[in-house]
Amino acid sequence: MKKFVLYSLMLGTLATTVTACRNIEEDGQTIVQNSGSGSTENLILSGKITSNLTLKANNIYKLRGLVYVTNGATLTIEPGTKIVGEADKNGALIITRGSKIMAEGTAANPIIFTSEKPSPKRGDWAGLVVLGAAPTNSSFNGQAGVGEIEGGINNSEGLGLYGGTNAADNSGVLKYVRVEYAGYAFLPDKEINGITFGGVGNGTTVDYVEVAYANDDSFEWFGGTVNCSHLIAYKGLDDDFDTDNGFSGKIQFGIGVRDSQVADVSGSNAFESDNDANGSSLTPQTGATFSNMTIIGPVNSNSTSTNAGTINALFQNALQIRRNSAISVFNSVFTGYPVGLFIDATKGTPTDNNIGNSSLVFQNNILAGNITPLKFAGSTTTPTTFSLTDLTNWYNSNGNSTLTYSADVKLTGAWAPAGTTPNFSPASGSPLLTGGVFTHPKLSSWFTAVTYRGAVKDATDTWYAGWTNYNL
């Protein structure tokens, strides 16, 4: 039998009247909120949110355990609102299929998801998960086109399932949002990331989002078609941008920055991409398109010095494209990884086939200060004739260039000391100031055609500052 508890915000005093009540259903309990004028509101979010709810900017809300927005409800979050994950409760906010999050902050008043601890650290809470009904190549219990999101989120009601047939599915808005100190390892390779997208459709808006100090990947997409811009992955543990299970969205203007001493036991990359875990030929094939990305890896080098010998040995690749993925990357810069571009065909349908059929494109990019710029590993079960020489020729014929040192890209202050705000603008003489090319058919729609490479135009372009926080 459910109990009804009234929570008060007024100096701990119980309210005496209840009007305009909203239910948040929990396992074995329903919290009653009073949303009338001048009355009480619950600041603890737990269980299931089953009807429309607005979180107010003058409050701090707390996620207790896994919190599901269900039943087609819309969770609206006002600009400037702060939501914390309760300490040691593995709190997460999950937007289930058919429900929405309307988190539209502003540059002056971003919405902040963070730790409640006075001395926060990565993994203090679980993270933000958005699930939609756009296509995926996953399957669940024999049903193709539906996936179970990783991280121990799914339950007997199927609230952790994603995917469907609606490419234009709309899960709401994430704009001017920060997610800090999130990430939870339910099982090895079954983690909740800073932000996890599952089957999210291109009717959803994702713009100006920072994930900082994630305890796994900063951003991970499982299937879906959502387009995203102005993303920042700051000093996460595992991968910055991870794409899987048929994700085919478009990403422009993204920044990834690593702490040279912090990497994951699984091996950390800026980009990691699979068609699926087995490298199958299932469709839709993972085929996301990226442009104007600035990736700052752990190695900081110039003609007289390098820290390459002191970085965490678990760092791997700026890009590992594997398991039959066919993502494409344009007009971007990748600096300071042990390996720059790794085409990994060792598992499943050979990834290099996607180079041969032009579904995988790497064009007009710069690899700078990567110890080994290019790497290829062929299939042992389905060998092809493709080789490292072929990879090199393909790379060179597509307008890409390789620079010896990370400093050669001439960024103003991307390697800012801890506790200070980076400056990602290209300095005078930088090869990033020019050279943006948008003639490829993959860039013919949605993308903003610009004349520069990387995520930032010049010193006047400060989209990455103000609403963000690098001094955590």
- In this predicted structure, what is the pLDDT of residue 188? 67
Could you read off the pLDDT of 320-342 as tens digits, one per residue?
Answer: 999 999 999 999 999 999 999 99
Q: State the burial class of residue 113 (Cβ atoms within 10 Å of its Cβ: 0-12, 13-18, 19+).
A: buried
The residue whose two tokens read 């039959």 is 324
Find, among 169, 168, 175, 184, the residue nearest to 129 by Cα.
184
Q: Are strands 333-335 and 366-368 parallel, antiparallel or unpaired?
A: parallel
CA-to-CA distance for 40 and 52, rounded, in angstroms? 17
DSSP 86: P
CA-to-CA distance for 240 and 228, rounded, in angstroms? 14
The residue whose two tokens read 């042992």 is 380
- The phi, psi pair for 356, rounded to 5°, reads -65, -35
**Ramachandran class of 20: left when φ > 0, alpha when ψ lies in -120 to 50, beta otherwise:** left
Q: Is the torsion defined by CA of 109, 115, 120, 121 positive or negative?
A: negative
| Cα 432 to the center of its chain, rounded Å | 24
The residue whose two tokens read 């996620």 is 63
Residue-wise burial string across 437-458, b where 16 or more C-beta atoms lie within 10 A, e elsewhere = bbebebbeeebeebebbbbbbe
- Please spell the DSSP secondary structure of 412-444, one letter per residue: EETTPPTTS--EEEEPTT-GGGS-----SGGGS
Could you read off the pLDDT of 335-392 as tens digits, one per residue?
Answer: 999 999 999 999 999 999 999 999 999 999 999 999 999 999 999 999 999 999 999 9
Contact, 429 vs 451, CB < 8 A?
no
**pLDDT in single tens digits along all 472 residues of the chain:** 333 333 333 333 333 333 333 444 443 333 334 444 444 578 999 999 999 999 999 999 999 999 999 999 999 999 999 999 998 888 999 999 999 999 999 999 999 999 999 999 999 999 999 999 999 999 999 999 999 999 999 999 999 999 999 999 999 999 999 999 999 876 666 779 999 999 999 999 999 999 999 999 999 999 999 999 999 999 999 999 999 999 999 999 999 999 999 999 999 999 999 999 999 999 999 999 999 999 999 999 999 999 999 999 999 999 999 999 999 999 999 999 999 999 999 999 999 999 999 999 999 999 999 999 999 999 999 999 999 999 999 999 999 999 999 999 999 999 988 888 899 999 999 999 999 999 999 999 999 999 999 999 999 999 999 999 998 8
- In this predicted structure, what is the pLDDT of residue 40? 56
Contact, 256 vs 270, CB < 8 A?
yes
CA-to-CA distance for 458 and 424, rounded, in angstroms? 8
- In this predicted structure, what is the pLDDT of residue 417? 85
- In this predicted structure, what is the pLDDT of residue 270? 99
DSSP 408: G
Contact, 171 vs 130, CB < 8 A?
yes
What secondary structure, in 3-state letters, does 282-346 show? CCCCCCCEEEEEEEECCCCECCCCECHHHCCCCECEEEEEECCCCCEEECCEEECCCEEEEEECC
- Please give the biggest Cα pair distance in the chain: 77
Which segments within 132-223 are labelled E, that is strand? 139-140, 143-144, 147-148, 161-162, 172-180, 184-187, 190-192, 195-198, 205-212, 219-222
CA-to-CA distance for 70 and 79, rounded, in angstroms? 22
Structure tokens at 70: 């269900």
Residue-wise burial string across 419-428, b where 16 or more C-beta atoms lie within 10 A, e elsewhere = eeebbbbbee
Q: Is the torsion defined by CA of 443, 445, 450, 451 positive or negative?
A: positive
Find, among 329, 332, 247, the residue nearest to 297 by Cα.
332
150-to-123, 214, 415 alpha-carbon distances in Å = 16, 16, 33
Contact, 69 vs 75, CB < 8 A?
yes
Q: Model's pTM, two decimal places? A: 0.92
Bridge partners of residue 10, in order along the sequence = 13
- Please spell the DSSP secondary structure of 166-185, one letter per residue: -TT---EEEEEEEEESB-EE
Q: Is the torsion defined by CA of 110, 451, 426, 306 positive or negative?
A: positive
